[in-house]
Structure 1
Amino acid sequence: MVKIANIELGEFPLLLAPMEDVSDPPFRKVCKANGADLMYTEFISSEGLIRDAAKSLQKLDIFDYERPIGIQIFGSEIDSMREAAIVSTQAGPDLIDINYGCPVKNVACKGAGAALLRDIPKMVQMTSEIVKATHLPVTVKTRLGWDDNTKNIVETAERLQDIGIKALSIHGRTRVQMYKGEADWSLIAEVKNNPRMKIPIFGNGDIDTPEKALEYRNRYGVDGIMIGRASIGYPWIFNEIKHYMATGEQLPGPTLEERVAVCRQHFTHSLEWKGEKLGIFEMRRHYTNYFRGLSHFKPLRMRLVQSEDINEIYDTLEEIAQTMSFV
């Protein structure tokens, strides 16, 4: 049984990665229904939280059916991160996660996210202050290092464990790599196999099939796997991996009717949480992924992403179910 502090996650948990503008409550709801064991909010700006910025505060919305769930925060200033941890704790999550892995410019170039990989002493001090600021378990998501010359994750993991984090998720790339090339899990395995490490180690990067999930579990010995991009528009991946690991057999992929049904659920949740205008707009990024491989989909996709009418969108989804087929 894998546990983060006293949170039981099963024998080999599958985690939904925090993704900006993706892992919001509507998306998390369909992932939870399809087998995700632990989920995180979108990463939330510490400065936004302590300034009461509306968008940041909305990201604190969590629901009991999502549990266990973590709130993930990022920032460049230790004092702000400590305050953000206090605000986040009051929202009632099961844990607090710190983002030391986001590579995008508007995060890393402001000294937050993966930028802390260039200043490990500051990362350690920041983490220590957050651990002291909350009664909840604190976890960390990070990368192998800033670049090929600073792959210091083995030492960094030890230092973070020593100051009290309860789990560590590692993306198998450096910041400089962004999302290019192949994720290197060998250093993730080195962290896991370090006899000093006692906390769960979760691997992240490039897991997009049940076969690869099983292969990487067996080869690298991690305690669980965090899945990000492969779940967008395909929340079924969690249950497919679980079934394959348990039986060695592939679950049949979702039928077109099942894809439409889950997409419709996702859209409905989006409307409920965000309201009509934003719910319609922010759902548009998901349609291509839900219906990837659908023949002659482009005209209907254009209708979905251009329509501002709820009923027209529902009607278009129904038309997809009735008239379309996969290549």
Structure 2
Amino acid sequence: MSVKIGNIDLGEFPLLLAPMEDVSDPPFRFVCKQNGVDMMYTEFISSEGLIRDAAKSKQKLDIFEYERPIGIQIFGSDIDTMREATEIASLAGPDLIDINYGCPVKNVACRGAGASLLQDIDKMTAMTKAVVESTHLPVTVKTRLGWDDNTKNVYEVAERLQDVGIQALSIHGRTRSQMYKGQADWTMIRDIKRNPRIEIPVFGNGDVDSIEKAAAWRMEYEVDGIMIGRASIGYPWIFRELKHFFQTGERLAGPSITERVETCRIHLQKSIQWKGPKTGIFEMRRHYANYFKGIPHFKEYRMKLVKLDNIADIEEVLSEIESNFANLEVIY
């Protein structure tokens, strides 16, 4: 059976790209889409930034036809501001609006947004209702298990947010106080999925970094799909490999050095097209080490790449990597 969010058909067991600040921008989304991801989200966008017409927030609204289905993710601490931001985001033409109730970082959570709302479920419910009522699009939510070990309240969150109209829920298997430490615990995600009152799709997120884990957790935790974040950084092929395994039961060979270089080049080109040469080249620097993880002595190449600001020079170094390591089999 297909998983649906409103009228969006995501297929039998969708793989989602998690919204990640400074990562899941259009250039990165392009290479993930090429590798078979079923659904993507923008980086999270400040509701305050949107209503103040801040350039950085507005640019994050950029979406492209080839990315569909795609959701715009917004966050904020004020209900009226979130309502207004929802209207602005809806005009950008996404397929859905997603609310971030999971971001644990200080400058978000300590300002009453993101995971902070897990401390005030009444406000979270009221905010969600306001967002649902402000758009014609499906609304989804991404959240965590709770604020800390003493307040794991996602069970109540799931019921109440479904009651005010959300159409899917993604759950990261950690509390806010855990940040990204320790192991993600998916048992509560399974409990929510087994709750007879919950009818919306439930997606699991956190620590899915291998085919074996994804396949095991798909069965063990009974989720409708998996959302992948950090494991896709520098390795967009994870979506392709998981799809192949789910369809055939066989492992797909990992990308060759040539394919890594080619994908890195495409990412760089898209980055330049979207942000212009100066910013595009600068923002690409955070990705090189991830694309070439496992290559011996890569540090010297990375040091070169992060200093260069000329496209031709960067291309030359990438070609050098390709020719020097063409026969290397990298175990990621």
Distance 1:309 1:156 in 2: 50
Partner of 1:52: 53
Distance 1:82 1:90 in 2: 13
Distance 1:199 1:222 in 2: 11
Q: Deviations over 1:264-293 (max 9, x none)?
A: 000000000000111011101110110000
Partner of 1:280: 281
**CA positional deviation for 1:326:** 5.2
Partner of 2:231: 230
Partner of 1:144: 145
Partner of 1:28: 29
* Equivalences for residues 48-197 of structure 1 within 5 A: 48-197=49-198
Look up the equivalent residue of 2:158 and give its one-letter code: A
Partner of 2:318: 317
**Paired residues of 1:295 and 1:326 also in contact (CA < 8 A):** no
Distance 2:316 2:111 in 1: 44
Q: Structure 1 regions of 5+ residues with no counterpart?
A: none
**CA positional deviation for 1:309:** 1.1
**CA positional deviation for 1:313:** 0.6
Q: Deviations over 1:85-123 (max 9, x none)?
A: 000000000000000000001110111000000011000
**Paired residues of 2:27 and 2:274 also in contact (CA < 8 A):** yes
**CA positional deviation for 1:140:** 0.1
* SS in structure 1 at match of 2:111: coil
Note if 1:294 corresponds to 2:295.
yes
Look up the equivalent residue of 1:171 and give its one-letter code: H
Look up the equivalent residue of 1:148 and give its one-letter code: D
Distance 2:291 2:87 in 1: 37
Partner of 1:263: 264
Look up the equivalent residue of 2:55 and give its one-letter code: A
Q: Deviations over 1:179-206 (max 9, x none)?
A: 0000000000001110000000000000
* SS in structure 1 at match of 2:289: helix
Distance 2:81 2:293 in 1: 41
**Paired residues of 1:271 and 1:279 also in contact (CA < 8 A):** yes
Greater Cα offset, 89-98 or 316-325? 316-325
Distance 2:285 2:108 in 1: 24
Distance 1:244 1:199 in 2: 26
**Paired residues of 1:210 and 1:245 also in contact (CA < 8 A):** no
**Paired residues of 1:293 and 1:326 also in contact (CA < 8 A):** no
Q: TM-score by structure 2 length?
A: 0.98
Q: Structure 2 regions of 5+ residues with no counterpart?
A: none
Look up the equivalent residue of 2:25 and give its one-letter code: D
Distance 1:238 1:272 in 2: 24
Q: Deviations over 1:207-252 (max 9, x none)?
A: 0111110100000000000000000000000010111112221100
**Paired residues of 1:211 and 1:244 also in contact (CA < 8 A):** no
**CA positional deviation for 1:49:** 0.2
* SS in structure 1 at match of 2:97: strand
**Paired residues of 2:148 and 2:177 also in contact (CA < 8 A):** yes
Distance 1:3 1:304 in 2: 42
Distance 1:141 1:76 in 2: 15
Partner of 2:213: 212
Aligned length: 327
Distance 2:12 2:30 in 1: 22
Look up the equivalent residue of 2:193 and give its one-letter code: K
Distance 1:272 1:119 in 2: 42
**Paired residues of 2:256 and 2:329 also in contact (CA < 8 A):** no
Partner of 1:244: 245
CA RMSD of aligned residues (A): 0.7
* SS in structure 2 at match of 1:139: strand
Q: Give 4+ residue runs of structure 1 displaced > 3 Å after superposition.
A: none
**Paired residues of 1:17 and 1:226 also in contact (CA < 8 A):** yes
Look up the equivalent residue of 1:322 and give its one-letter code: S
* SS in structure 2 at match of 1:218: helix
Distance 2:305 2:193 in 1: 45
Distance 1:299 1:148 in 2: 43
